[in-house]
Amino acid sequence: MALMVVGLSHRTASLGVLERASFDAAAAEEVVEQLTASPHVDEAFVLSTCNRVELYCDVSRFHGGVADVGDALCRRIGLGADELGEQLYVHYEDAGVEHLFRVACGLDSMAVGESQIIGQLRGALRGLHERGLAGGTLDRLLQNALRVGKRAHSETGLDAAGASLVDAAMARATPVVGELAGRRALVVGAGAMSALVATTLARAGLDVIVANRTPDRAQRLASAVGGRAVALDDLRAEVAAADLVVSCTGAVGHVLDVAIVASALLDRPERPLFLADLALPRDVDPDVATLPGAHLVDLEGLGRDLANSAVADDLRSVRTIVAEEVAAHAASLRAADVAPTVVALRAQARHVVEAEMRRLASRVDLDESTRSEVDRTVHRIVEKLLHTPTVRVKELAEAPGGVGYAAALRALFDLEVGTSGAVTLPGDAPLSGTVADAVGRVS
């Protein structure tokens, strides 16, 4: 089995498609049941947020799994495979693990470093446990992802990444419009990044106006910062009245195009307008920068401002954490793969000892005390002989390509390990219990 991720996000799909693809709890449970009933998917969970919908699956066949998950998304969204396919991305095995760990850290979020995703991952984990999948492949993956996310936020200054972008934008705005306190700021969008922007601007003494396609969300944000909410239909008039415009909606397509900004500038020929585009994809048409009186900065420009800052160092540190954890997760999977072989070797050794002790008992008359002492001595000898090779094969298995050592051990000792981890000994039925039960006893 192998991990496969199929999804779409603010980076690849339009807001309308993301809205149609959104899963509530009931829909997520339904699609998971459908997928796990297929022959290619063993486990699955859905991660559905305001800017991404992703299905994580433990699959036996890559192409079959992609087809099953793609069909499920097409049915959910109501689009054909040809149309939806261009907006989907697929990650497999280690690439899928890396993607989830980046998501857990907030590196793949619209507002870089946001921590809300941690709660959503916990919800996915609860869903797995409610379906009786605790201890499975995806359970271990989610547990690790949560740990990675916590490491990123506790060991680095990632939480400050979004705030630093806003600070950098304000630093760029001051030379254009002058002292910011008392100025009028228009915030386009009402998501996590917009909330951060609005809060920072309000604290700096600006009059904040919030425009959003959903009036209720705009009103909630505006009320929280002592500002005012407006409809997107009023965008042209609000741009004309503002000194500073910050847009971060995450919509596909330009929210502020050249026509809107050019028209707004006609009402303010003597006042420069500063615009900061913090969205990905861009909210503001880059050609706006060519308009007289308009000063536009985007994430790329602000990124250059922060290139040598502590935030950039934090982002590099988080990427390092992700790389380390991906390698550690892969090593743990390889170690888990070798565990059934180690269990089989020890089971075979016990089988041989018990057979020989029965043979000895049939040929030599030993009292109970002597027989027990001989039995313990033989078992200690076998345990000591097996200790080094079993510990070493687990260590070797954690390195890339290490599964070959387990295969060599199986060949050398003629071990038979079934796909379920059951151990078969000559003349015996498979041993009872799970491999997981025995792993804890392996040195």
Higher pLDDT, 299 or 190: 190
> The dihedral of CA 177, 179, 182, 186: what is its sign?
positive
Q: Are residues 174 and 246 in the same domain?
A: yes
Q: Are residues 299 and 381 in the same domain?
A: no
Residue 300 pLDDT level (bands cut at 50, 70, 90): confident
**pTM value?**
0.62
Residue 3's pLDDT is what? 93
Residue 147's pLDDT is what? 95
Residue 400 pLDDT level (bands cut at 50, 70, 90): low
Mean pLDDT of 281-288: 89
Residue 434's pLDDT is what? 32
Region label for 310, one of left (φ > 0), alpha (ψ between -120 and 50) or beta (otherwise): alpha
pLDDT tens by residue, 102-157: 999 988 876 677 777 888 899 999 989 988 888 888 999 999 999 999 999 899 88
Q: Are residues 179 and 273 in the same domain?
A: yes
Write the DSSP symbol of residue 99: H
Length of the chain: 443
Q: Are residues 16 and 113 in the same domain?
A: yes
Would you say residue 432 has pLDDT above 60? no
Q: Are residues 129 and 177 in the same domain?
A: no
Cβ burial 56-77 (10 Å sphere, 16+ → b, else e):
bbbbebeeebbebbbebbbebb
Residue 111's pLDDT is what? 64
Residue 312 lies in a domain: no
**Cβ pair 416, 423 in contact under 8 A:** yes
Residue 378 lies in a domain: yes
Q: Which residue has the tokens 């605790």?
A: 134
Q: Which residue has the tokens 């339009």?
A: 14
In this structure, what CATH number is given to the domain that contains residue 253? 3.40.50.720
Q: Are residues 408 and 288 in the same domain?
A: no
Q: Are residues 128 and 173 in the same domain?
A: no
Q: Are residues 98 and 164 in the same domain?
A: no
Would you say residue 287 has pLDDT above 80? yes
Would you say residue 443 has pLDDT above 50? no
pLDDT tens by residue, 349-363: 888 888 888 888 888
In this structure, what CATH number is given to the domain that contains residue 11? 3.30.460.30
Residue 421's pLDDT is what? 45
Among 126, 156, 186, give the residue marking a domain's end.
156
Would you say residue 430 has pLDDT above 80? no
Contacts of residue 162, defined as CB under 8 A and 6 or more positions apart, other chains included, come to 111, 112, 113, 114, 192, 193, 196
Residue 205 exposed, middle or buried by CB count within 10 Å (0-12, 13-18, 19+): exposed
Residue 290 lies in a domain: yes
Among 132, 156, 180, give the residue marking a domain's end.
156
Residue 356 lies in a domain: yes
What gap in Å lies between CA 340 and CA 390, rounded to an integer?
11
pLDDT tens by residue, 382-397: 888 888 888 887 777 7
**Cβ pair 389, 346 in contact under 8 A:** no
pLDDT tens by residue, 7-44: 998 778 876 787 788 888 888 889 999 999 988 999 99
Q: What is the mean pLDDT of the chain?
A: 84
Among 108, 138, 156, give the residue marking a domain's end.
156
Residue 95 lies in a domain: yes
Q: What percent of the chain has pLDDT over 90?
A: 40
pLDDT tens by residue, 234-247: 899 999 999 999 99
> Rounded to the nearest 5°, which phi and psi values hold at 22?
-55, 140
Residue 329 lies in a domain: no
Would you say residue 438 has pLDDT above 50? no
Describe the crossing of helices 368-397 and 403-413 by its angle, rounded to 10 degrees: 140
Residue 313 lies in a domain: no
What is the CB-side half-sphere exposure of residue 176 using CA atoms within 13 A? 22
Q: Are residues 191 and 295 in the same domain?
A: yes
Range of the domain at 123: 2-156
Residue 307's pLDDT is what? 61
Region label for 400, one of left (φ > 0), alpha (ψ between -120 and 50) or beta (otherwise): beta
Q: Are residues 194 and 174 in the same domain?
A: yes
How many domains, the chain? 3
Q: Are residues 409 and 289 in the same domain?
A: no
Q: Catalytic residue at 105?
A: no
Would you say residue 436 has pLDDT above 50? no
What gap in Å lies between CA 372 and CA 361, rounded to an integer?
11
Would you say residue 424 has pLDDT above 60? no
Q: Are residues 141 and 182 in the same domain?
A: no
Identify the active-site residue in 50, 57, 105, 248. Answer: 50
Higher pLDDT, 195 or 186: 186
Q: What is the dihedral of CA 189, 190, 191, 195, to 10 degrees?
A: 110
Residue 428's pLDDT is what? 44
Higher pLDDT, 278 or 402: 278
Residue 187, helix vs strand vs coil? strand
Residue 179 pLDDT level (bands cut at 50, 70, 90): very high
Residue 187 lies in a domain: yes
